[in-house]
Amino acid sequence: MTQRMMNFSPGPAALPLQALEEARAELLDFQGTGISILEHSHRGKDYEAVHEEAKSLLRELLQIPSNYRILFMQGGAAAQFALVPMNFLHAGQSADYIMTGVWSEKALGEAKILGQTRIAADTKEEGSYRRVPRAEEIQIDPSAAYAHMTTNNTIYGTQFHYVPESGAVPLIADMSSDIAWKPFDVSKFGLIYAGAQKNLGPAGVTLVIVREDLLERVRSDIPKIFRYSTIAKEDSLQNTAPTFAIYMVRNVLKWLKGQGGLAAMETRNRNKAAMLYDAVDSMSDFYRCPVEKASRSTMNAVFRLPSEELEKRFVAEASARRMVNLKGHRSVGGIRVSLYNAIEPAWVESLVAFMKEFAQTQG
Amino acid sequence: MTQRMMNFSPGPAALPLQALEEARAELLDFQGTGISILEHSHRGKDYEAVHEEAKSLLRELLQIPSNYRILFMQGGAAAQFALVPMNFLHAGQSADYIMTGVWSEKALGEAKILGQTRIAADTKEEGSYRRVPRAEEIQIDPSAAYAHMTTNNTIYGTQFHYVPESGAVPLIADMSSDIAWKPFDVSKFGLIYAGAQKNLGPAGVTLVIVREDLLERVRSDIPKIFRYSTIAKEDSLQNTAPTFAIYMVRNVLKWLKGQGGLAAMETRNRNKAAMLYDAVDSMSDFYRCPVEKASRSTMNAVFRLPSEELEKRFVAEASARRMVNLKGHRSVGGIRVSLYNAIEPAWVESLVAFMKEFAQTQG
């Protein structure tokens, strides 16, 4: 077998080796049933145990309060951009959006098609987003149907390090790229959604955590299959669930628990991010992080080199050393190092060593 | 490893062993990349080749004309029940529905929330569906936005053995449970959709085949992510695709091609169905198929035994012989034998032998 790459992809991202090995070991025969998990009925007891275990691990690890429901949906965050206003933006209401990047823009775009919207904060400056807003810059309309935010911005390498105060207005957060990176207070949010393919599992399933009372506000003039209330009522089994993706989430959560849970993840992730940013800052004549320090992301660190030519060479030489998917998003260029839960600290050590070597030889 | 079960599940269904073995062999290292297919970016060249191969195999095997687009979506047929009227049922229009079972009823239910509908045919009699309509019973409104049908009805064991004539009205078909069971004329349909988890792959991806000119009729007042035109324009990569599910579809299609394609499947499937129905008919004092002969499904054969007690024993004894998931849908009871492409003829032989034995000892 080829040696395993150090995969710094922004997503679909590297998965814990343990989660993959578990899947491989039982891929043809799930727990002695003589049937693959890919072939098990979503209504059979074997899959049902996986479904329950995934939910129960989520509730335990993320400390999800009992008045919140855990849903497994499909379509990624992009579907949620549309489903949030479809469900909660009633006629005559307006929804607030906190703008911190392309994903916020896409979420706002879908809401605008369906109803009234309002910008609660916007940090776009000179065509890009170099930071998230400070708390005092966010103005939530107290009559808003909800306030929407993106907690981490993969493209710009920015992240909220606080939860905005939204009063009685339900705060809805796209946490696709930083859910479960550390312990957090679910009760500050009305609804949280996250495509699994960064911190939780493979592509193909979206985690939704929703406060029960919001299910009563769901619009009844939208298709039943798109109502959060339907999914909650049927425990995400209103139709065939993406069983294998949920099974993989379960495997990742088992690994996460074995690592010591979210508190251990926070230490691990902060250490990885510190190593990386320290390297950038200590070689500031060669590497430059465009992000305001208070907004730097622990999940996606972005930086520039003196020229695009050098950036290209950096990516190529790192790749030759098995460190791959370091190219920044096409819209902004530069280097992007994704540091999700499954990324091994040793990979970041290798990368930092390479960064030093590269700066010395090319600087 | 436990001996492999003969899994007659209605779906998620048994997959070809070859497709599973291929996935297992490279699960940790996709084609020497040192990265699992579960971790590959949906925008990288390695996954892209899989995406292209899946589409190209579909076009070849299903003989999809060049004026049709192949889309990979999420949410199963249940999402399509809503997306079809969202996209195509404009204000002031009405849509026709051919009613042949619970799935048609669910599709109609979503459309009714969104606009005007009309029943073009309905074979519900005495609370159940024992047949599909005859051609002359179907009355399509020439001004309908579209006409919707379910080609195979998993619960009742019925199947259309002809394509209804819809004139200029686009015929939209839910083929979830019988797509690719034999060669068929795609050009008779405006749009075809099929959850993959029966004949094409695992749960988590829905195949949509749509005639290009219909993309111009898509409503522009619905969210962008839910427009077929968006998915077509972005080649199903408008956001992160369910990459592993599509990879598995690719593996299943490779197997299908190796078997000789859809013509070979038709022979194989007709033989399996003939074996099964011949057994039922030849022991008609014990087994009874409630379906009108002309409507019998080649994909899901349903039959009854003299009593529910005997049906229970039949399921249990078959299961002890490794023939599993034979229980009929909870809404109708009885026995259901799903005979999708991947079901081996030898499994059906075993089942028929058991049916004879059971009838002799219990009859």
Residue B126 has a pLDDT of: 87
| Residue A102 pLDDT class (50, 70, 90 cuts) | very high
To the nearest 10°, the Cα dihedral for B277, B331, B198, B260?
10
Residues paired with B97 in a beta bridge: B119, B148
In chain B, what residues touch A204 (CB-CB under 8 Å)? 74, 204-205, 242-245
* CA B147 to chain CA centroid, nearest Å: 18
Alpha carbons A333 and A153: distance in angstroms, whole number: 15
pLDDT digits (tens, 9 = 90+) for B153-168: 999 999 999 999 999 9
- Identify which of B246, B215, B209 has the alpha carbon closest to the alpha carbon of residue B65: B209
Q: A263 by DSSP, 3-state: which?
A: helix
CA count, 13 A, side-chain hemisphere, A292: 15
What's chain B's length in residues?
A: 363
Using a pLDDT cut of 70, give the percent of chain A over it.
100
A56: pLDDT strictly greater than 90 = yes
What angle, rounded to 10 degrees, do the helices at A345-362 and A261-282 form?
A: 0
Region A67-87: mean pLDDT is: 98
Q: B85 by DSSP, 3-state: which?
A: helix
- Among candidates B27, B221, B322 on the partner chain, residue whose Cβ is nearest the Cβ of A23: B27
A128/B contact by beta carbon, under 8 A: no
- Identify which of A89, A57, A363, A87 has the alpha carbon closest to the alpha carbon of residue A231: A87
Q: Does the distance separating the beta carbons of B2 and A225 come in below 8 Å?
A: no
Cα dist. B77→A37, A315, B129, B203 in Å? 21, 42, 20, 11
Within 177-216 of B, beta carbons closer than 8 Å to A belong to: 195, 197, 202-205
pLDDT digits (tens, 9 = 90+) for B201-251: 999 999 999 999 999 999 999 999 999 999 999 999 999 999 999 999 999
Total Cβ atoms within 10 A of residue A213: 10
Which two tokens mark A65?
């309060």
Coarse DSSP helix, strand, coil percentages of chain B, rounded to the nearest 5 percent = 40, 15, 40
Q: Does the distance separating the beta carbons of B204 and A4 come in below 8 Å?
A: no
The answer to whether the bond into A242 is cis (omega within 30° of 0) is no
Q: What stretches in chain B show pLDDT beneath 50?
A: none
- Contact between A194 and A243 under an 8 Å Cβ cutoff? The reply is no
A92/B contact by beta carbon, under 8 A: no
Which two tokens mark A357?
């070597």
What angle, rounded to 10 degrees, do the helices at A76-88 and A102-114 form?
A: 40
User: Is B293 annotated in the active site?
Assistant: no
pLDDT digits (tens, 9 = 90+) for A177-203: 999 999 999 999 999 999 999 999 999
Select which of B96, B174, B181, B347 is catalytic: B174
Q: Does the distance separating the beta carbons of A77 and B42 come in below 8 Å?
A: no
| Residue A127 pLDDT class (50, 70, 90 cuts) | confident
**Average pLDDT of chain A, as a whole number:** 97
pLDDT digits (tens, 9 = 90+) for B37-63: 999 999 999 999 999 999 999 999 999
Residue pairs spanning A and B at CB distance below 8 A: 218
User: What is the b/e burial string over B238-274, where b = at least 16 CB atoms within 10 angstroms of the residue's CB?
Assistant: bbbbbbbbbbbbbbbbbbbeebebbeebbebbeebbe
pLDDT digits (tens, 9 = 90+) for A306-357: 999 999 999 999 999 999 999 999 999 999 999 999 999 999 999 999 999 9
A363: pLDDT strictly greater than 90 = no
| Smallest Cα distance from B136 to chain A, Å | 32
| Residue A1 pLDDT class (50, 70, 90 cuts) | low
Residues paired with B70 in a beta bridge: B209
- Among candidates A76, A114, A226 on the partner chain, residue whose Cβ is nearest the Cβ of B240: A76
A75: pLDDT strictly greater than 70 = yes
Question: Cβ contacts of residue B283 below 8 Å, gap of 6+?
Answer: B355, B356, B359, B363
Alpha carbons B275 and A223: distance in angstroms, whole number: 42
B80/A contact by beta carbon, under 8 A: no
Residue B289 has a pLDDT of: 97
Find, in chain A, the residue whose alpha carbon is nearest to that of B10. Answer: A41
Residue A126 has a pLDDT of: 87
Which two tokens mark B35?
């990265």
Alpha carbons A73 and B27: distance in angstroms, whole number: 24
- Among candidates A44, A225, A242 on the partner chain, residue whose Cβ is nearest the Cβ of B242: A242
State the complex-level ipTM.
Answer: 0.98
Total Cβ atoms within 10 A of residue B147: 26
Q: Does the distance separating the beta carbons of B41 and A325 come in below 8 Å?
A: yes
Secondary element (H or E) of residue A113: helix A102-114
Opening angle at CA A281, ends A279 and A283, nearest 5 = 70
Cα dist. B358→B5, B281, B292, B311 in Å? 19, 15, 25, 11
In chain A, what residues touch B12 (CB-CB under 8 Å)? 38-42, 240, 243
Within 13-42 of B, beta carbons closer than 8 Å to A belong to: 13-15, 17, 20-21, 23-24, 27-29, 32-36, 38-42
